Structure 1
Amino acid sequence: MSGDNSFVVVANRLPVDLTTEPDGTSTWAPSPGGLVAALSPVLERHQGCWVGWPGVADETFEPFRTDAGVLLHPVRLTAADFEGFYEGFSNATLWPLYHDLIVPPIYDREWWSAYREVNLRFADEVAAVAAEGATVWVQDYQLQLLPGILRQLRPDLKIGFFLHIPFPGPELFRQLPWREEVVRGLLGADLIGFHNESNAANFLDLARQVSGPSGSHIGQPDELRVEGAAATREIGAHITTSDGRRVGVGAFPISIDVDSIGPADPAAVAELRAELGEPKTVMLGVDRLDYTKGILQRLLAFEELLESGALDPEEVVLVQVATPSRERIEQYRVARSQVEEAVGRINGHFGTIGNPVVHYQHRSMPKSQLGAYYAMADIMLVTSFKDGMNLVAKEYVATHPDGSGALVLSEFAGASVELEQAHLCNPFDLESVKRAILNAVWDLDDAPEATRERMLAMHEQVTTHDVDLWASSFLDCLAQADSTGDSDGEPEPR
């Protein structure tokens, strides 16, 4: 039995949070985050259905529509599901594994069972709401088994999968005890998308090495072939599975909805700088408080630059917005403790009463307010150890259409492939981070025209390669995908 939704997005979370008002009434508010920002405009245009967990354990909610007309279909998870599937396997096993073992992954068989069961539950819900022949777009690492399960339940569906985080090299992925099951789950899709060529190449290499359920190889992928690189840096290749299906593999760099950022109010920007004491240079970091984001490293680099006299605490401030994230997981609690200890130490040494040199906020910030912070910042600091893309870097660039500002960007963020005019740094090397920060400061002071040209080039890249291009490129390739193997063509990038 099928539903009546011809386009379905399925992700771990719905794009809304349940908030309780002072009078006790509950309302749904749009969620922050890059995935929501990227997919919401796509679903609004398609008037599609979004399947996901509403963020409240042990509660059952009926489907409802957003103000924009998108149907939201909640999936019920218990507290035990959340602990084993999300906090456990997704974020204490897969997340560190896919981020190159920044912390050691934990391989727990009970977590794996929870991950498998929740993926099956999601598949049942999607199978129930999707119309005959519908397009289903599965999002991210929490649901990697879903394409394979859905392929068995509803072979009529066109299934795409996109990974929003990095995909590791096969020598790391092969640590995973359940590697064959995860790969088979992904290969249930008609098209698998990654942010960049290196992630796609890692998956293709893995497919050459990992065996199927009976020991026979999954199927040899075609040689990696770059297509349309000048326009979108997409690539196209196929993997032929043991049952003869052809699965497309491509790189589709995600981007932002530029219009949703909007121009900042000059009065709001001026007010922010006044609240900071009218410093000469404002540096800004905006991150989830995650150990992959390199927040502590940028603070240590900033501290050493102050200690050496390379930066003057009378002239520069660092604003760090750290959104709470996965706070029940031990590594995240440790990361927060380290960051807040560094903030206190730096302010105690270099700040004065009422005039801290680091302004730290540990709470979410609405996008309408965040735009003013981006526009206010002279230098944006993105120093992640590993990032699938990092949309914060693109949002910052989008708010500087006049070419003002400078971007310090980790070379291990996916955005570095497209924003190559940024001041790139190696976040594992404190001297490299310090050099990039100083180069950004010096360029703003001594080479304003060259700095402006760099920013304008990045602004052109971000505005012409926006979320619409990302989504339409993926969906166009998915529409053309022929998993039966009858077509000789590769996925054609737009």
Structure 2
Amino acid sequence: MEPVLSAAQPSTTPGVNPSFPTDGQFGNFDFIVVSNRLAVDRVVDEHGESSWRRSPGGLVTALAPVMAKADGAWVGWHGAPDETLEPFDESTMHLVPVPLSAEEVELYYEGFSNATLWPLYHDVIASPEFHRTWWDSYRKVNKRFAEATASVAAEGATVWVQDYQLQLVPKMLRQARPDLKIGFFNHIPFPPLEIYAQLPWRRQVIEGLLGADLIGFQRPSDASNFLRCVRRFKGYTIKAQQVQVPQGDDGVPAYVSRAEAFPISIDTASITELAERPDVIERSREIRRELGDPQYILLGVDRLDYTKGIGHRLKAYGELLEDGAITVEDAALIQVASPSRERVEQYRLLREDIESAVGRINGTHDTMKNTAIRYLHHSYPVEEMVALYLAADVMLVTALRDGMNLVAKEYVAARTGNTGMLVLSEFAGAADTLRQAILVNPHDIDGLKSAIVSAINMPKTERMRRMRLMRRQVVHNDVERWSQAFLDALHLESADHGA
């Protein structure tokens, strides 16, 4: 591991400059990913020795091969506040840590990113908060990310900025380094005009995003929402999803920014490999035995977030038990709710509500042998998750709003025998491509109940037909294909418009 500097001590690594480079000064890296977090996690062994391990997320999996081929660097926060690290190498990636103070984590990340933008972009399921101090910190941190990126980028490099925490970075980069090819991908939904209009800094965010040559979204509707906002709040000319971004006041186009959908996917091969491993298959059988070998196992896997519709799912399941449509002897629901933003008050209250609902349902319907809901407030390794996917006869994805929902795709990928059934919210991006799932409106509790019953009772031949088609879609459109499609379009866009 590289040495740790004090928070006040600047890095002196060659090629890394805390300010934007002047004319003629360039870094050494031809491909740069910029995200809120680095592509590695710090791990500490039993002896207290720390090291770095590549993060297991799909984005890292998709871009690591590109990094290896293209002399790449990854810019992001390393996860510890009030600590500054020098850039270091891990595997095939050069990592450029961006320091954040504890106050910036509170204002930029927990505040503006997750208490302003997150609820606003998820259709105001929870009320967003608007504070100028949060916005000021967001702008300041975005500038720091842009400075770090500009300092390490080679001339004409490709930069791919990731997600809603860094929406101002593209414009900052374009102003400092017009030689760069700049892409941005928004992993969460982009809200309709009528909702986005609430943001006091709506024009600044649009301007920030329009610094990119290509802006990627999960769904075509997200790209359309963004373009409507551009037309309304900036008045720029838009033709065929291309925005003519003027320079100065003369209206002459300086460059073109394009908004397009690129639905993200998963590392299908690794999920399939795990699903065929004997130890994982045996673990799935053990899970069924631990539940008393019920006829049906239903599964929900979510981050504990108000956008995921966990409460709606529990309400529907509880009513099915009350109606007698299912019994605890025949069916069990496993609900994995991994911890999320536990310092934020809304999330703390949500956890209390969910755990209270689980307690009521179990208290009413449990027997000495059977439990209605196994509630697991933990994060699990991917091997255990795949075992759960194999054990579950029905997967319940009831998001109220979701950019994609990769859990739905992981479940499909794991069902190598084309068994099982997916109940999927129409408000998740995955519903655009997994059309053979049973699509539901999670706000319609009666409809959700009917969907669960239909999934349980669906004839085997129909289940297999649907799952076969969904697996074909997920296998063909994996995360590597997603990243390649975006980068191909970015280079084409840049070449067409002289970026």
After TM superposition, is the score higher than 0.5? yes
Which residue of 2 is the match for residue 294 of structure 1?
A: 309
What are the Cα deviations for residues 376-420 of structure 1, in whole angstroms up to 9, with x where unaligned? 111111000000111100000001122100000000000000001
Distance 1:63 1:146 in 2: 20
Mark the runs of 5 or more structure 1 residues left unpaired by the alignment.
212-216, 224-236, 488-494
Aligned-residue offset at 1:41: 4.9
Whether the 8 Å contact between 1:38 and 1:255 is mirrored in structure 2 is no
Q: SS of the counterpart of 2:347? A: helix
Whether the 8 Å contact between 2:32 and 2:157 is mirrored in structure 1 is yes
Whether the 8 Å contact between 1:190 and 1:483 is mirrored in structure 2 is no
Which residue of 1 is the match for residue 484 of structure 2?
A: 472
| Residue in structure 1 matching 2:460, options 443, 448, 456 | 448
Aligned-residue offset at 1:349: 1.4
Whether the 8 Å contact between 1:42 and 1:468 is mirrored in structure 2 is no
Alignment-mate amino acid for residue 248 of structure 1: R
Which residue of 2 is the match for residue 7 of structure 1?
A: 31
Q: SS of the counterpart of 1:161? A: strand
Note closer, same or farther for the CA distance 1:465–1:484 as it changes in structure 2 (3 Å cut): closer
Distance 2:68 2:219 in 1: 26
| Residue in structure 2 matching 1:50, options 74, 80, 105 | 74
Which residue of 2 is the match for residue 254 of structure 1?
A: 264
Q: TM-score, normalised by structure 1?
A: 0.91
Distance 1:148 1:337 in 2: 41
Which residue of 1 is the match for residue 426 of structure 2?
A: 411
Alignment-mate amino acid for residue 455 of structure 1: M
Distance 2:191 2:38 in 1: 27
Cα RMSD after superposing both structures: 1.6
Distance 2:498 2:85 in 1: 43
Which residue of 1 is the match for residue 386 of structure 2?
A: 371
- Kindly tell me the number of residue pairs found equivalent between the two proteins: 464
Note closer, same or farther for the CA distance 1:39–1:383 as it changes in structure 2 (3 Å cut): farther
What are the Cα deviations for residues 202-249 of structure 1, in whole angstroms up to 9, with x where unaligned? 1111111113xxxxx3x21104xxxxxxxxxxxxx2100122111121
Distance 1:44 1:353 in 2: 55
Q: SS of the counterpart of 1:292? A: helix
Which residue of 1 is the match for residue 148 of structure 2?
A: 125
Distance 1:298 1:44 in 2: 42
Q: Out of 467-476 and 11-20, give the one that drifted further.
A: 11-20
Alignment-mate amino acid for residue 460 of structure 2: P
Distance 1:438 1:322 in 2: 23
Note closer, same or farther for the CA distance 1:374–1:336 as it changes in structure 2 (3 Å cut): same
Which residue of 2 is the match for residue 386 of structure 1?
A: 401
Q: SS of the counterpart of 2:307? A: coil
Which residue of 1 is the match for residue 238 of structure 2?
A: 221
State whether structure 2 residue 223 is matched by structure 1 residue 208.
Answer: no
Mark the runs of 5 or more structure 2 residues left unpaired by the alignment.
1-24, 248-252
Identity rate, percent: 53
Whether the 8 Å contact between 2:181 and 2:494 is mirrored in structure 1 is no
What are the Cα deviations for residues 261-280 of structure 1, in whole angstroms up to 9, with x where unaligned? 12423212211211221111
Q: SS of the counterpart of 1:253? A: coil
Q: SS of the counterpart of 2:246? A: coil
Distance 1:453 1:20 in 2: 46
Aligned-residue offset at 1:18: 2.1
What are the Cα deviations for residues 179-202 of structure 1, in whole angstroms up to 9, with x where unaligned? 110000001001101111111111
Aligned-residue offset at 1:357: 1.9
Aligned-residue offset at 1:89: 0.3
Aligned-residue offset at 1:132: 1.0
What are the Cα deviations for residues 128-155 of structure 1, in whole angstroms up to 9, with x where unaligned? 1111111000000000000000111111
Q: SS of the counterpart of 1:241? A: strand
What are the Cα deviations for residues 63-100 of structure 1, in whole angstroms up to 9, with x where unaligned? 22333x22221110000110000000000000000000
Distance 2:341 2:479 in 1: 27
Distance 2:345 2:328 in 1: 34
Q: TM-score, normalised by structure 2?
A: 0.90
Aligned-residue offset at 1:353: 4.3
Q: SS of the counterpart of 1:76? A: coil
Distance 1:251 1:418 in 2: 12
Which residue of 2 is the match for residue 491 of structure 1?
A: none
| Residue in structure 2 matching 1:175, options 198, 203, 210 | 198
Which residue of 1 is the match for residue 87 of structure 2?
A: 63
Q: How does 1:307-386 map to 2 (within 5 A)?
A: 307-353=322-368, 355-386=370-401
Whether the 8 Å contact between 2:223 and 2:259 is mirrored in structure 1 is yes
Which residue of 2 is the match for residue 186 of structure 1?
A: 209
